[in-house]
Structure 1
């Protein structure tokens, strides 16, 4: 086990003790999970936790998020299970990405496995495509306008646009890994493919990717795809979603599994 992995587990254990919770699942959610970390990339750790039964037996709304101050290496935060399940029933893409992260740090109970089992029922093509489209549009507008652009931000527009393409093509939750999305959706041997591959090699090699002249093949592709998905998204249907009683049962069984 690497030293950073050990540090993450120690921090999760400290959260359990200080907050009097049990962590059900923790994973990497950022650029390391996507497959293109920089040398100075921090660790974006996300987790799902549950509190003692008595905490839920209250007429008052309580804070359902735990966050730790971000330092140079770690960015750690988590959601209460009840919050997570309410978002899960709405096909929340960040949560669904956590569940398929290629870098799990901690899994002690069966909740994550149960959620993965019913995630195809919850997946909504329309909700998820809008999520990725809005992410792409926001990042494109903020970082990739003009002749000089913040070049590493291309990945933060390419990845959600490719995720839209995956949803259109396969009607399923997109994979986390950028390489998998690119290989499935960018024509190999095209000018776009070579431009993206070169940029990806530079990022993985740890080059400082700051302001540089815009990459016209990528900009042209992104502008065309954003316009296309703005027209395509309204045609999609919402998913049926998991039944409420199914999620209630999962919540109660989790409480029983953890605190029995």
Structure 2
């Protein structure tokens, strides 16, 4: 949960960012552990947002900086993508962008923008690209943190969450939610593994520092089996199919206000 005081602080900072960079923030959310649902008491606030410039900014011949990044201060981490960059990443079926659209914690939301952006994003969801993304994340973190005799126990969450996200895609053929507990309850059927994960989740949420401890062999076995499963699965996926570029261009233009003279038949979203 985000306290009213913290929410007000974040909303005020977002308004200041709009003034400083001369942009309009269309959508701002919480990402990271607080949105995933396994934050510690001293976890950072990872505020992510999509913004747009005035129309003439997009008419420049030379490329302009398309991200806003604010140095972290007092656990506050702000970072945003320009609207055009966000559409570019949508075209690449970027799973992080799809996560943002499903964050359970929203700080600012332009409803018209979200309706257009979210609806067209459904066409660009790629099961194979999403599974590859999460599988790579799980495999890397497993190799780096969980194969020694003693491990950083909190790193289990950085392996288990992407693996559960892979299961979500396999079972539901849709972009996975951000919340770890939703993934856990919806896709994990092994009650023994679920019990062990739930106990770790309780410790993490209650601010108990999870340092290096003896690795949990049953969880490692579960992880290894599932990494192997998804490595085999992705090799049998059909290649991703992208829609025609016209749809995404029209959506971009409409959000910018350039599409006002287009007919309703031309504007799909």
- Distance in 2 (alpha carbons) for counterparts of 1:85 and 1:154: 32
Tell me what 1:79 maps to: 81
User: CA offsets per residue over residues 31-63 of structure 1, 9 Å max, x none?
Assistant: 111111110111111000001111111111111
For structure 1, which segment, 247-256 or 127-136, has the greater mean C-alpha deviation from structure 2 after superposition? Answer: 247-256
2: CA distance between counterparts of 1:115 and 1:137? 31
For the residues of structure 1 that align with 2:117 and 2:257, how far apart are their CA atoms? 16
What are the equivalent positions in structure 2 for 1:101-112 lying under 5 Å apart?
101-112=103-114
For the aligned residue pairs, the C-alpha RMSD in angstroms reads 1.6
In 2, Cα distance between the equivalents of 1:237 and 1:172? 15
How does the TM-score come out when normalised to structure 1? 0.94
Deviations 1:187-214 (A, max 9, x none): 25x3212111111111111111111111
Preserved contact between residue 121 and residue 239 of structure 1 (Cα < 8 Å): no
Aligned to 1:114: 116
Provide the residue aligned with 1:243 in structure 2: 244
**Matching of residues 131-210 of structure 1 within 5 Å:** 131-187=133-189, 190-210=191-211
Q: Which segments of structure 1 move beyond 3 Å, counting only runs of 4 or more?
A: none
Partner of 2:267: none
Contact 1:28 1:101 in 2 (8 A): yes
Conserved 8 A contact 2:151-2:214: yes
> 1:225 is matched with which residue?
226
The separation in 2 between residues aligned to 1:31 and 1:243, in whole angstroms, is 35
Structure 2: runs of 5+ lacking an equivalent: 261-269
Aligned partner of 1:123 in structure 2 is: 125
Conserved? CA contact 1:127–1:238, under 8 Å: no
Query: 1:25: Cα distance to partner?
Result: 0.4
Q: Aligned to 2:234, what secondary structure does the other structure show?
A: helix
Q: Which runs of 5+ in 1 are unaligned?
A: none
Question: What are the residue-to-residue correspondences of 1:2-151 with 2, within 5 Å?
Answer: 2-151=4-153
Give the TM-score, by structure 2 length: 0.91
